[in-house]
């Protein structure tokens, strides 16, 4: 008897489960208000993740710029800031790629292709 209550409770919260159907069909799977709200929630979650990745990248960029202003401004030669800047650009590119920021990766790829292509366009 307690098992019947549990089954009723589960079907109340989750609807009719495919394995509970008499014919064993998966008809209706992925349809209805539950799947619609699930897709809305998953898209909202993905947008939130993208926003946080972008915020993380901007924070990382600001920290690098502040450190550059602090340390590179006091250097006496010009080669060290160039080498450090090239290393930082590579680090930012790898961070953007790792964090899944497609827009930034595309922008950096286009920018880098200008320097690697022979025509300069």
Question: What is the reported pTM?
Answer: 0.56
Question: Could you tell me the sign of the dihedral formed by the alpha carbons of 107, 111, 112, 113, in that order?
Answer: positive
Q: How far apart are CA 106 and CA 17, in angstroms?
A: 44
pLDDT per residue, tens digit, the chain (121 aa), is: 455 555 565 555 555 555 545 555 555 455 567 888 888 899 999 999 888 988 998 899 999 989 888 888 788 888 888 888 888 888 888 888 888 888 887 887 788 788 887 555 5
List the domain boundaries for the chain. Answer: 50-116
pLDDT in tens, 91-111: 888 888 888 888 887 887 788
Cβ 56 vs Cβ 99: under 8 Å: yes
Alpha carbons 32 and 15: distance in angstroms, whole number: 10
């Amino acid at each position: 008897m307690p098992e019947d209550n549990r089954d009723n409770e589960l079907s109340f919260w989750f609807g009719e489960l495919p394995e509970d159907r008499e014919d064993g069909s998966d008809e209706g799977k992925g349809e209805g208000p539950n799947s619609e709200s699930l897709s809305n929630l998953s898209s909202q979650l993905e947008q939130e993740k993208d926003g946080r990745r972008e915020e993380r990248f901007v924070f990382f960029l600001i920290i690098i710029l502040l450190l550059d202003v602090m340390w590179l401004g006091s250097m006496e030669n010009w080669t060290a800031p160039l080498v450090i800047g090239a290393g930082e650009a590579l680090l930012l590119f790898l961070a953007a790629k790792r964090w899944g920021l497609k827009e930034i990766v595309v922008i950096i790829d286009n920018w880098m292709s200008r320097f690697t292509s022979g025509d300069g366009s």
